[in-house]
Amino acid sequence: MSFLKSFLIRAIYAIILLIAVLVLNFSLMHMAPGDVADTISQSMGGADAELLAQIRSDYGLDQPFLVQLGNYIGKVLQFDLGYSFFYNQSVTSLILQKLPATLLLVVTAQILALLIGVILGVYSARHPNGISSHFVTFLALFGYSAPVFWTGILLLIGFSLNVHWFPVAGMRDVTVEGGFWPHFVDIVRHMVLPVITLGSIFLALYSRLSRATMMEVLGSDYVRTAKAKGLSEREVVYKHALKNSLSPVITLAGLQFSAVISGAVLVESVFSWPGLGTLAFQSIIARDTPTILGILFFSALVVIVGNLLTDLALRFVDPRVGGKG
Amino acid sequence: MQHQWEEFNLKHLVKGLVAATALASVLTASVVTAEEPKRGGTLVTVLGANPRSLNPAVQSGIVTGYPGAQLFAAPLRYDEDWTPQPYLAKSWDVSEDGLKVTLNLVHNATFHDGHPITSSDVAFSVKVIQENHPFKSMFAPVTSVDTPDEHTAIINLSKPHPALMLAMSGQLMAIIPEHIYGDTDNVKAHPRNNKDVVGSGPFKLVEFVSGEHVILERYDDFFIEGRPYLDKIVMRVIADPAARAIALENGEVQMSGFEALPRIVNRLKKVETLTVTSEGYGAIGPLDWLAMNTGSDGPTGNVKVRHAIAYAIDKNFILKALMQGTAVEAKTGIHPDSPFYEADVENYALDLDKSNALLDEAGYPKNGDGVRFDLTIDFGWPGVKPQVEYVKAALKKVGINVTVRASADFPTWAKRMGAMDFDLSWDTVFNWGDPVIGVHRTYLSSNIGKGVWSNTQGYANARVDEILGMAGTETDPEKRKALYSEFQKIITQELPVYWTNALPYHTVYSDKIGNPPLGVWGTSSPIDMVYLKD
């Protein structure tokens, strides 16, 4: 099957999937009792029945379900994600406004976790019974099992409160003046704790997985052959074994990347990071249907694109994938 | 004996020290004199949620109120003692019959774009608030606003309306520019509610990034000479109370209002550089209570059952264990800080025997398992789960089997309350200034079942309706007070809700802050007098 053809088929599936995601999410949101008019009245300290009715008619919430659904799908097909009830702006602009902060956080955490995780994994695979290997295992399991909001608050208490090394919340200090560098340093300082918190989950996954695959590969025939040829340990590990042990890690990284938002929701909330996670959390609380649907739609899009990219990356690392036969 | 002598000596020493310190402070005070407010500086403060809109004329609520009261001026402001003070109106006059309220505006006031603030802007603002603001009762009796000249606005009323005074202050009556907002019928959706705001208050908008921050800057042509003292205010949106507390502790944030978590309030009280106070919430008037479905055919419809429930609940436990000493007791539907509060009412101190007897009397004997009947209890947000669990445990002791019904989120709960589909529920309701605005709505029979925070209990008492009708139009403060006193005595007898405590709202500010906002409106009023010490 040619690459193009398989790509096209997948793209068609993706579109069907996206519409299904929309319909399902819209129906689920609709089934929940209450609506955004209630949260708007909450934010206002109460409203009478007349005003509630007015809010509902303003946002078309008084129309029959199928009409609302049809209107929504129609709009999305024209690339219009609608208008946020709660933030009083268009959902697309809201998402685009929050996206850079989330990307910055998630991509940085991912890259660091991937690099450090693979290094730790390879190291502990080479010395599987050493103390330091056990330490890596412990660290990884701890990072994976500790809830992020707990790790986050703990880091805050340690490094923002006890020693004032890092700021508590947000992405930047708006009182910082000056050109590029002061702002750059400011953002980096704000990033440290959330990146560590978010990265600790990914790190655990990568280091455990690369340790396992590396140990498997190190025990295989061709590695023994390479050793028998008289290649140095270093050459065997990094030239022969590593490349082969990487493909599961890349698959995982791709899948994890798709979880951009799910992973970031809690971390962003703890650190008041102004990204999509915080937005998702707040709009769920506010029952801001267009924003929630917009974010879910966007997440679905990221998952699908992420899978496609993972596929491409695997072809690159492992020529057998997607080949004939 | 020796011990006594030591103590005596120590007392002397302490007295001497106190005297010396007092003398020293008198001396230094005479040198420095009362601290002079200082111009300049940036105040970093927080908002606990993202404001939907910065325009208080169309959006109520405390997160809009804080930036809103800085951006927009109201005709009046209130001090700590509930006394109205001139603000945009330099003086005002209420006619003999109470049907005309004349506002004389200051002459030098301008909007942030330089346009003069005139009486027609006042008339326009009243109209916009009447059409869009959720508190319809504020300006309901206003029939028209006359504008005989640029600086005189006469508010005509269909009946005397003493609540108007508080409704003209704080965040409730923002004067907005007609030349900006007059171009549409739907001011609620006006794009300039959130950006390029042209206000009338002490600070103008620099930037509002939704979910991140609101940045305000001193308006140099503000109509009060020399104010505001601050150059800039940065309001950061930090939703997590723990993160806000840490930011206050390490000095990243210098002031925060509406902190209500007892654990956090008590922790911050221990921080040397911070002052924590519950002053400044009298007008907002937040009350916690146990709502009981009074209109129900079930047990809660019986007043004896409601009394029995009150007797079975130990308010002291709520105040000491759940609120950890941060909240004051509430006895009635009016906030304890309000001038209309009546403290001499039935109090329902814990008495399980009485509770049991009342339930027997009401015709609900215990069955073989010691259970009289089943009730449900609802709650709308996770913060009040401890109260709800406590009520369940407390009522079990008198044979009432309570099932806790959790709601997935606020709308789910609001729907149940609005439809009066509940037996018991925990609720938090704000007085919002005058009782006419935030108190009447819970007890008037004409307001039954009109959505969340209406009379969701289904309470109806003809005398209460009558008293509230009279109190709403009574212009004599003493007579008004007497009416509200009678009202509070009746509702505490009939218990449509059982009030437990005032919500423990606290303002936290660093020792660098001078003149913190402690008037009855707290941070929902202009902070033009706040300054930063050296």
A152's tokens: 């986050």
Q: Is the pLDDT of residue B129 over 60?
A: yes
Mutate to test the interface with B, among A269, A272, A276 (most CBs of B within 10 A): A272
pLDDT of residue B16: 46
Q: Is the pLDDT of residue A311 over 80?
A: no
ipTM of the modeled complex: 0.73
Burial of residue A119 (number of CB atoms within 10 Å: 0-12, 13-18, 19+): middle
Q: Which of A32, A160, A282 sits opposite B246 (nearest CB)?
A: A160
Q: Are B267 and B290 in contact (CB under 8 A)?
A: no
Q: Residues of B with CB below 8 A from A45's CB?
A: 60-62, 134-135, 430, 432, 438, 453
Q: Which of B213, B432, B452 sits opposite A174 (nearest CB)?
A: B213
Q: Are B109 and B88 in contact (CB under 8 A)?
A: yes
Question: How close, in Å, is residue A201 to chain B by CA atoms?
Answer: 21
pLDDT bucket at B6, cuts 50 / 70 / 90:
very low
DSSP secondary-structure letter at B37? Answer: P
Query: Within an 8 Å CB–CB cutoff, is residue A242 touching chain B?
Result: no
Contacts of residue B230, defined as CB under 8 A and 6 or more positions apart, other chains included, come to: B40, B41, B42, B43, B203, B218, B527, B530, B531, B532
User: Distance between CA A287 and CA A36 in Å, rounded?
Assistant: 5
pLDDT of residue B99: 95
pLDDT of residue A1: 52
Who has greater pLDDT, A325 or B463? B463
pLDDT bucket at A260, cuts 50 / 70 / 90:
low
Mutate to test the interface with A, among B240, B254, B413, B532 (most CBs of A within 10 A): B240
Query: Within an 8 Å CB–CB cutoff, is residue A210 touching chain B?
Result: no
The region of weakest confidence among B235-239, B375-379, B414-418, B466-470 is B414-418
B176's tokens: 């907005």
The region of weakest confidence among B296-305, B415-424, B474-483 is B415-424
Minimal-distance CA residue of chain A relative to B59: A44
Who has greater pLDDT, B200 or B8? B200
Give phi and psi for B143, each to the nearest 5: -90, -35
pLDDT of residue A318: 67
B306's tokens: 């409601």
pLDDT digits (tens, 9 = 90+) for A121-144: 888 888 877 787 888 888 888 888
Measured in whole angstroms, how far is the alpha carbon of residue B366 from the centre of its chain?
Answer: 42
Burial of residue A52 (number of CB atoms within 10 Å: 0-12, 13-18, 19+): buried
Q: Is the pLDDT of residue A313 over 80?
A: no
What mean pLDDT comes out for the span B437-466?
91
Q: Residues of A with CB below 8 A from B237's CB?
A: 272
Question: How close, in Å, is residue A212 to chain B by CA atoms?
Answer: 38
Q: Is the pLDDT of residue A263 over 70?
A: no
Residue type, position B227, single letter: R
Give phi and psi for A91, each to the nearest 5: -65, -40
pLDDT bucket at B3, cuts 50 / 70 / 90:
very low
pLDDT bucket at A321, cuts 50 / 70 / 90:
low
Cα B226–Cα B228–Cα B234 angle in degrees, nearest 5: 150
Looking at every residue in chain B, the average pLDDT score rounds to: 90
pLDDT bucket at B231, cuts 50 / 70 / 90:
very high
Q: Is the pLDDT of residue A251 over 70?
A: yes
Who has greater pLDDT, A235 or B69? B69
> Taking CB atoms and an 8 Å limit, are B210 and A97 in contact across chains?
yes
State percent of chain B over pLDDT 70.
94
Quick one: which H or E segment has residue B257?
strand B255-259
Q: Is the pLDDT of residue A255 over 80?
A: no
B352's tokens: 């399980």
Measured in whole angstroms, how far is the alpha carbon of residue A44 from the centre of its chain?
Answer: 33
Quick one: which H or E segment has residue B217?
strand B213-218
Q: Which of B199, B183, B178, B165 is nearest to B56 (CA)?
A: B199
Give phi and psi for B39, each to the nearest 5: -80, 150
Out of A66-80, A180-194, B155-169, the most confident range is B155-169
Strand partners, B86: B76
pLDDT of residue B317: 95
Residue type, position B135, single letter: F
Exposure b/e, B170-184, CB count within 10 A at least 16 = b: bbbbbbbbbebbeee
Who has greater pLDDT, B9 or B424? B424
Minimal-distance CA residue of chain B relative to A164: B250
Minimal-distance CA residue of chain A relative to B52: A87
The CB density around residue B205, as the number of other CB atoms within 10 Å, is 22
Minimal-distance CA residue of chain A relative to B213: A174
B404 torsion bin: left (phi>0), alpha (psi -120 to 50), beta (else): beta
User: Distance between CA B472 and CA B445 in Å, rounded?
Assistant: 15
E strands within chain A? none
What mean pLDDT comes out for the span A211-233?
82
pLDDT bucket at B8, cuts 50 / 70 / 90:
very low
State percent of chain B over pLDDT 90.
76
pLDDT digits (tens, 9 = 90+) for B57-92: 998 888 999 999 999 999 999 988 899 999 999 999
The CB density around residue B481, as the number of other CB atoms within 10 Å, is 15
DSSP secondary-structure letter at B188? Answer: G
Query: Within an 8 Å CB–CB cutoff, is residue A89 touching chain B?
Result: yes
pLDDT digits (tens, 9 = 90+) for B363-414: 999 998 999 999 999 998 888 999 999 999 999 999 999 999 988 788 888 8
Cα A143 to Cα A116, A190, A194, B32: the distances in Å are 13, 21, 13, 56
Q: Which of B211, B222, B186 is nearest to B72 (CA)?
A: B222
The CB density around residue A319, as the number of other CB atoms within 10 Å, is 9
pLDDT bucket at B299, cuts 50 / 70 / 90:
very high
Measured in whole angstroms, how far is the alpha carbon of residue B495 from the centre of its chain?
Answer: 22
Q: Are A308 and A300 in contact (CB under 8 A)?
A: no
Q: With helix as H, strand as E and coil as C, how does A231-277 read?
A: CCHHHHHHHHHHHHHHHHHHHHHHHHHHCHHHHHHHHHHHCCCCCHH
pLDDT digits (tens, 9 = 90+) for B467-509: 999 999 999 999 999 999 999 999 999 999 999 999 999 999 9
Q: Is the pLDDT of residue B4 over 60?
A: no
pLDDT of residue B182: 94
Give phi and psi for B209, each to the nearest 5: -105, 115
> Taking CB atoms and an 8 Å limit, are B136 and A51 in contact across chains?
yes
pLDDT digits (tens, 9 = 90+) for B337-363: 999 999 999 999 999 999 999 999 999
Q: Which of A49, A171, A271 sits opposite B450 (nearest CB)?
A: A49
What three-state secondary structure class fits A324? Answer: coil
Q: Is the pLDDT of residue B29 over 60?
A: no
pLDDT of residue B122: 97
Q: Residue A237, CB half-sphere, CA atoms under 13 Å: how many?
A: 16
Give phi and psi for B180, each to the nearest 5: -100, -50
Q: Is the pLDDT of residue B1 over 60?
A: no
State percent of chain A over pLDDT 70.
93
Which residue's entry shows tokens 């705001």?
B197
Q: Omega into B228 within 30° of 0, i.e. cis?
A: yes
pLDDT bucket at B297, cuts 50 / 70 / 90:
very high
